[in-house]
Structure 1
Amino acid sequence: MAEPTEEETVRRFRERVSRGETDGIEIEHRVSGGTPGERRTSEEVTLTGTGSARARGEDSREPGGAGARDSAGSLEDAETRELFRRLGASTEGLVPRSETGFTPDSLVGSVTIRVDGHRATLFYLADPEQRETQGRPLPPETAEAVGAFARLARRMLNE
């Protein structure tokens, strides 16, 4: 059997989440970029369908890599399902790599959806100002869904 396409993986994710089936699903939300010499940032959070979560963050403003942080924990089933539900209902605002075309030094967000080992990675501009200047708006429900994952990362990293 052939590997599913990214579109098929996203469709499977939506179907499973709509049925409340989260086992075998993993979401990785990552934001990275920025202007060299100013502030470069990297932040990611990975959440599994069983509620296991990992977060990692790094800020180039911290000398000697002191800005690197890691955290792990778990979420309640209801919070995990809600984060997955929000994302499943709003992936239309995210684009595949072939459609990004973001300007250099953009703060780029990505969402990697894994379903039973198959993956799809979709992208968006993480900075609202850059979305406006580059003419790449996000639907409000998509902005809220990716914002929820960003808030989870910050919460886990105690920012």
Structure 2
Amino acid sequence: MYISVFDLSSGYISVKSDIFSFGVLVLEIIIGKRNRGFQHPDHEINLMGHAWALWMKRAALQLVDECLLESCVNSQALRSIQVALLCVQQRPEDRPTISLVVLMLGSADPPLPDPKQPGFFTARNPFYNRDTSSSSKNNPHSVNEVTLTSLDAR
């Protein structure tokens, strides 16, 4: 089965959109938190931004969820984080193919390239309040700043 995700930056559905989604999913598994609604007490950036910031500080192992720490191999966890960051790079042409992702995750060879800054590296929406729904009359903004319009014939 082939499932594609809409690429917000280009407006097109592509294989590279799927890779981006896969990278987010890998980060969510490693961190043990969902991308949507991710909050960190020290900053206002999203899950990918948080992962990127720790990667740049050479502190990526801080991302690993506590319940995984005892059972994971540090080198494999770092490699998984690096592959995930490669999948969520800003430019679709910089993202690996799924066959390359499988190879990278299944082997310690070859060495991986350094990831570039992720796409959609954003701060949380200050208008979003987790205690109210996005459809609330008090909150005119959407959670992810995306508007969907459905046109119906009369």
Query: Larger RCO: Structure 1 or Structure 2 (Cα < 8 Å, ≥ 6 residues apart)?
Result: 1
**TM-score range normalised by the length of the shorter chain:** 0.3 to 0.5
Structure having the higher Rg: 2
- Give the structure-1-normalised TM-score: 0.32
